[in-house]
Amino acid sequence: MPFKLAFYQRLFQRLEAPMRAGAPIVVMGDFNTAPYERDLARPRDNAKTSGFLPEEREEVVRWLASGWTDSFRVYEPGEGHYTWWSQRFGVRERNIGWRIDLALVSPGARPFLRGASVHPDVKGSDHCPISLELDDAVLLASHG
């Protein structure tokens, strides 16, 4: 847990200046933290489980409060959308999962966001892929 929190904090600090300067930045991957209750099928059952502990959630929410956008939530605010399921039998089929894979976009990238998705039908891992679509003009903005 200390390593995970230190990583979140160090990455946040490293990206703070370019983010504030308007750089279009995407931070995307397995955060291993579900920020909100709607990001878990069973939040009460997992209140004391790594990946949903208050200190982890607070760190991811700090990113969002500072201006980063959870790209998937721009397009889908509801519950029942997950990116990870336990490998126990039947859990994925019953959609008892967690949304712990995130694609965060900086304010400089937000105007170029055109879509974001999770792909639960893609199997082969306990995670499913996530994707986002950015307007090609983001490439010009990043070299501007």
Q: Which residues are catalytic?
A: 30
Distances (CA, A) of 19 to 12, 40, 42, 102: 10, 29, 34, 17
d(CA 112, CA 105): 10
d(CA 51, CA 35): 9
Rg (CA), the chain: 16
